[in-house]
Amino acid sequence: MIRAVIVMNDQGKPRLVKFYEHQPVEKQQEIIRSIYGVLCSRAENVSNFVQADSTFGPDTRLVYKTFATLYFIVIFDDSENELAILDLMQVFVETLDKCFSNVCELDIVFNFNKVHTILDEIILGGQVIEMSSSEVVKAVDGISWLEKNPNSIIRVPKSISGWQGR
């Protein structure tokens, strides 16, 4: 399973922190600091995988990817495929891009709870729900629409919900 998803900027400021196993807040900060220490000292032409045994126990790995000023970091155990996680990060970033049209660090800072909503549509409890960014965008749009029209809770218009009668 995926243990954590972290987004931080190149100064080590956390922008999105999501742990799928409970960690006390001090421990979270310690982990973020230690990851930043590892990442900022990595050379450019090296692989995106780091062994994370010391913080998360045996056989855990960390995959990171840089997008502009941000590090996207996923920590996971041996039941996940490293290369697929790289694709998953790509999907996450593409989705952010669609939701914020040309996403930048500031979008993530000021809309962190929307980013959480997006992430919750991609990963649930450490497992991947959805790998199609258009499906994720559809779900997130539905949620945003409800946010703005809270009174329509009973009759959700057909246009935004992915009805599929059984």
Partner 1 sequence: MNPFSSGTRLRDMIRAIRACKTAAEERAVVRKECASIRAAVSDNDNDYRHRNLAKLMFIHMLGYPTHFGQMECLKLIAAPGFPEKRIGYLGLMLLLDERQEVLMLVTNSLKQDLNHTNQYIVGLALCALGNICSAEMARDLAPEVERLLQFRDPNVRKKAALCSIRIVKKVPDLVENFVNPVASLLKEKHHGVLLTAMQLCADLCILSEEALEYFKKRCTEGLVKVLKDAVNSPYAPEYDISGIADPFLQIRLLRLLRILGHGDADASDCMNDVLAQVATKTESNKNAGNAILYECVETILSIEDSGGLRVLAINILGRFLSNRDNNIRYVALNMLMKAISVDGQAVQRHRATILECVKDSDASIRKRALELVYLLVNESNVKPLTKELIDYLEVSDQDFKGDLTARICSIVEKLSPDKLWYIDQMLKVLCEAGNYVKDEVWHALIVVITNASNLHGYTVRSLYRAIQTSVDQEAVVRVAVWCIGEYGDLLMNNTGMLDLEEPITVTESDAVDVIELAIKRHTSDLTTRAMCLIALLKLSSRFPSSSQRIKDIVTQSKGSLLLELQQRSIEFDSIIEKHQNLRAALVERMPVLDEATYSGRRSGSVPAAVSTSQGNALHLPNGVAKMADAPLLDLLDLSVDEPAAPNSSGGNFLQDLLGADISSSSSQSGKIQAQKSGTDVLLDLLSTGSAPAQNGSSTPDIFSISQDNKTSISALDSLSSPMVPPVQASPITGGSPMDLLDGFGPNPPVPKDNGPAHPPIVAFESSSLKIIFNFSKEPESPQTTLIEANFTNKSSEVYTDFIFQAAVPKFLQLHLEPASGNTLPSSSSGSITQKLRVTNNQHGKKSIMMRIRISYKLNGKDMLEEGQISNIPRDL
Closest CA to 7 of 81, 66, 83, 84: 66
Angle at alpha carbon of residue 76, lines to 31 and 7, rounded to 5°? 50
Distance from C-alpha of 134 to C-alpha of 47, rounded to nearest angstrom = 29
Q: Which is nearer to partner 1, 56 or 61 (CB)?
A: 61
Spacing of C-alpha 87 from chain mean position: 12
Tell me if 142 contacts partner 1 by CB under 8 A.
Answer: yes
Distance from C-alpha of 153 to C-alpha of 146, rounded to nearest angstrom = 7
**Contacting residue, 24, 60, 98, 101, with partner 1 by CB under 8 A:** 24
Q: Which is nearer to partner 1, 32 or 35 (CB)?
A: 32
Name residues contacting partner 1, limited to 48-87 (CB under 8 A): 48-50, 79, 81-84, 86-87
- How many residues touch partner 1 under the rule CB under 8 A: the total is 62
Phi and psi based region of residue 94 (left: phi greater than 0; alpha: psi -120 to 50; beta: remaining): alpha
Task: Map tokens 């994720």 to a residue.
Answer: 136
Name residues contacting partner 1, limited to 94-133 (CB under 8 A): 109-110, 112-113, 116-117, 120, 124-125, 127-132
Least Å from the CB of residue 34 to partner 1? 13
Distance from C-alpha of 134 to C-alpha of 69, rounded to nearest angstrom = 25
Residue ranges that bind partner 1, judged by CB under 8 A: 14-18, 20, 22, 24-26, 28-29, 32, 43, 45-50, 79, 81-84, 86-88, 90-91, 109-110, 112-113, 116-117, 120, 124-125, 127-132, 134-135, 139, 142-143, 146-147, 150, 153-154, 156, 161-166
